[in-house]
Amino acid sequence: MKLLKTVVGTALLAAATTVSAVPVTLNMVGASWENVQGENVTDNVTGVGTNEIRWGARTDKNKSGYRFDAADNLPLTFESGDYFTLGTFTHINFPITSGTAITSADLDLTVELDILGTSLEQGPYTFSFKHTETPNNACIGLYLPFIGCLGWENGNVDDIVELDTSFLSDEFIVDSYAFSLEIIGFQDMKTQRIIDELSTKEGDKTSANVIARLNVRDLPREVPEPASVALMGIALAGMVFLRRRKQA
């Protein structure tokens, strides 16, 4: 009976074992802006399908925009569960004509990975960015409801970008492991803090790293059926009996 319990316990322990870390190499990141939403997008937005989009009226001297550049230290090797940099997001903010701004845009990313000797391309994974275009001029002085600005209106108002950090990709299988890509957020270039929102002054630009994590879980392993375990125990017990008989 002790032998049978030992065999069953060992099988259950093997099935329950989880993976703490798997080495991964990120070789390439491809980027494309898609599904841009806003007012008169067809006329006001350029660069859809590339890594940089711009928006604003055709008569605007400068246009606002989003740009994504893949990490410049590729290939990058890390372990599953570690934070790593997919690339750099840049928000360019200029005063633009009212009614020509976007409200959101999707970034499609494709990655090339080496995992456990297997090279594979995954994606595109779609990350959503929400855009808040603020007035070009803010009240400097006292603002009163129903009356307005008691002063002058030439103060800048920061535009805001929010990254949806709830994204988790579908799992993909390598060997006996299941992987999924998760977006963690923006990493502030100065403070290194992880955040999900950026603000940019008029006439300026803000850059931040896009941080991700590759999660991994061990796929369930087949546990011997009770009958098979019993037969294994009987066979081992028989071998022990024969060995003792020979020694006798």
pLDDT at 239: 58
Q: How far is CA 211 from CA 27, 102, 141, in A?
A: 16, 24, 40
pLDDT at 157: 75
Q: How far apart are CA 64 and CA 203, in angstroms?
A: 9
Q: How far is CA 78 from CA 85, 111, 172, 235, in A?
A: 10, 14, 18, 45
**DSSP reduced 3-state for 141:** strand
> What letter does residue 145 receive in the DSSP assignment?
T
pTM of the predicted structure, to 2 decimals = 0.76
The bridge status of strand 64-70 relative to strand 76-79 is: unpaired
**pLDDT mean over 154-167:** 83
**Cβ atoms < 10 Å from Cβ of 86:** 24
pLDDT digits (tens, 9 = 90+) for 106-146: 999 999 999 999 999 999 999 999 999 886 555 555 655 65
Q: In this prediction, what percent of the chain has a pLDDT beyond 70?
A: 72
